[in-house]
Amino acid sequence: MSESQVIGEGTYGCVHKPQLYCKGEDTQLQNAVSKLMKKGVANNEFKEYNIIDKADPNNKYYLGIPSKCKPEHRKNKQGIYNKNSTKNCKNLKKNDPKIINNLDKYTLMIMENGGDNLEIFADKANKWDKNAESTKKMEIFWLEAHRIFLGLKTFLDNGIIHHDLKAQNIVYNEANERINFIDFGLMKKKTSIINESKKSKYGFSVNHWSFPLETLFINKNNYEYILNLSNSEKIKYINKIISDFKNDEDKDIVNAIKNLLYSISNKNDKFLNLKDVFYNCIKEYGETILFCFLKKPNNYNDFLNLCLNTIDIYGTGIGFLYVLKETYHHIDPAFADDLSKLFLNMVNGNLLKRIHVEDALNEYENILKNNGILKKYNKHFLKNELIDGSPIPLKIQKNINSINIDSLYVTAEEMKDVLDKDENALDPKHNCIAGKEYNPITKRCVKICKPGYSRDSNFRCKKNKTQKNPTPILSPKKCPYGKEINQKTMRCVNICKPGYSRDSNFHCKKNKTQKNVKIKPESGPKKCPPGKELNPKTLRCVNKCKPGYNRDKDFKCVTNKTAIRRLQKSEK
């Protein structure tokens, strides 16, 4: 027992293989790694796993929910092992120089070993001998990489932003040919980021090498700073970045660009050449500054939505470009060229031109198909899922190939005869389920229009102008006692008070010529409980009068003497 090896480290966590020991345990799980983090950070990340588990309950795109434990920190064999292993956690030691003595303030997350991250995998693959075996390994990797595109679409469909994708946060297990996302510490719901950004309180509205450069402007106050610059001031802003980069200034955006170029370009190579990539990076970012910050209605909301929808595709592009630049010599040049074009489009500095997740998924599938990778490994796509076998069974394919196309040739006269005989050939009838009708424009079955609506020239439901209060197609709705159906809204509403009646808009209006109109309820007289009687004016049950009291004409309880006096007055 000596120490565990650090196989990955971020700002907030340090990953060891084999795992560090949990408190009170003297065994380590096979094929497991541990991630050492401060308790608060670990608790927050654990919450993020619950979010992703809802989006991916079958663990198609990640390794599953990890377990948590306290690290052993006592002076036993396991505690000494943990302390010796922790010495190599450079980032954690920066923030906590006495981390070795403070392990009781940390938490271990134990998870399955998903393999090497893409940076480590690419560095190893770079040193492979170029032969048929190395080509096969890389082609299988790029086949499996399709899973990541599907995962990105799943995240976005569920309103989730990973926000920390890069080569270090995607792992590939070469033995079982499986790729996965890891490290969900920055994962958030898209709606939460939007709400924080609009208040200028989003903590990751910064320049970071694995974030798109425009992420700095997610917070509204930063966005408005650029928005209020003139075009000449925006150009000066871009030129200042170029000047700072040439002078190697220690600034966040300069460091972000330098690290980005390291990950996606080759210094002394024509493929992904450093100068070409840098030129395009600055040019595209300049286009974002000039064309994405315009004083138009909802422009900030559009910018924010576009940026958040492409943050994860951008980080994935960085990770895949790193693998490609290190391993392109193992695959066919045309295949490598197609991949580079797609991945560079994923990291396009012009937000308006950056490819979206669904388009990237479809483009990636076309690249695998057009370069013969699917056919070579007997695979095909079915609704974006990679399936074993060719799309057409071999027996059927042979039968198709045996057909003599010349024998199927039809003359124009023969086709005219067919059309003349079949009146529905050019206008087929389409059977839609009940409640739907066929849209000839989109060729799909759509819901029928509501009562009072009809189709316009674009097959959209528009309210009829000449037809008001149409009779409902459905059977009349039954309303409870004291309510009636509103023919305009088809909802039950309170009946009008006595002396009121409905106008053309079904509003209760006071009668001008008719007073104290009593409306009899549709469902018969209301029954009151013992001790109460029905007030015919309000149609409500009220307490009966006490002994010695009677009702007057206003249905108020008055003494018998008062009632007699009022009656005598009314008779006079």
Per-residue pLDDT tens digits for 94-140: 999 999 999 999 999 999 999 999 999 999 999 999 999 999 999 99
pLDDT of residue 422: 58
Instruction: Give yes or no for a contact between 39 and 106, defined as CB atoms under 8 angstroms apart.
Output: yes
- pLDDT band, very low/low/confident/very high, at 473 (cuts 50, 70, 90): very low
pLDDT of residue 463: 87
pLDDT of residue 157: 96
Q: Which sign does the torsion angle of CA 113, 311, 260, 220 carry?
A: negative
pLDDT tens-place string over residues 274-312: 999 999 999 999 999 999 998 888 899 999 999 999 999
- pLDDT band, very low/low/confident/very high, at 514 (cuts 50, 70, 90): very low
| SS3 category, 32 | strand
> Which contacts of 366-370 are long-range, i.e. CB under 8 A and separated by 24 or more positions?
367/335, 367/338, 367/339, 367/342, 368/142, 368/143, 368/146, 370/338
Secondary structure letter of residue 94 according to DSSP: H
Question: In terms of Cα–Cα distance, which of 115, 94, 100, 104 is closest to 15?
Answer: 115
Average pLDDT along the chain: 87
Residue 563 has pLDDT above 80, yes or no: no
Q: Which has the higher per-residue pLDDT, 340 or 517?
A: 340
Report the pLDDT averaged over residues 516-535: 66
Residue 553 has pLDDT above 90, yes or no: no
Q: Which has the higher per-residue pLDDT, 407 or 448?
A: 448
- pLDDT band, very low/low/confident/very high, at 410 (cuts 50, 70, 90): low
pLDDT of residue 547: 81
How many other CB atoms are found less than 10 A from the CB of residue 125?
Answer: 21
pLDDT of residue 471: 46
Residue 467 has pLDDT above 80, yes or no: no
- pLDDT band, very low/low/confident/very high, at 475 (cuts 50, 70, 90): very low
- pLDDT band, very low/low/confident/very high, at 522 (cuts 50, 70, 90): very low
Q: Report which secondary-structure segment, H or E, holds 385.
A: strand 385-388
- pLDDT band, very low/low/confident/very high, at 408 (cuts 50, 70, 90): low
The CA radius of gyration of the chain, in Å to the nearest whole number, is 36
Among 418-432, 486-500, 551-565, the minimum mean pLDDT is found in 418-432
Percentage of residues of the chain with pLDDT beyond 90: 60
Question: How far, in Å, are 323, 495, 496, 501, 561 from residue 504 at the CA level?
Answer: 71, 15, 14, 10, 47
Residue 567 has pLDDT above 60, yes or no: no
Residue 81 has pLDDT above 60, yes or no: yes
Q: Which sign does the torsion angle of CA 320, 321, 322, 324 carry?
A: positive
- pLDDT band, very low/low/confident/very high, at 14 (cuts 50, 70, 90): very high
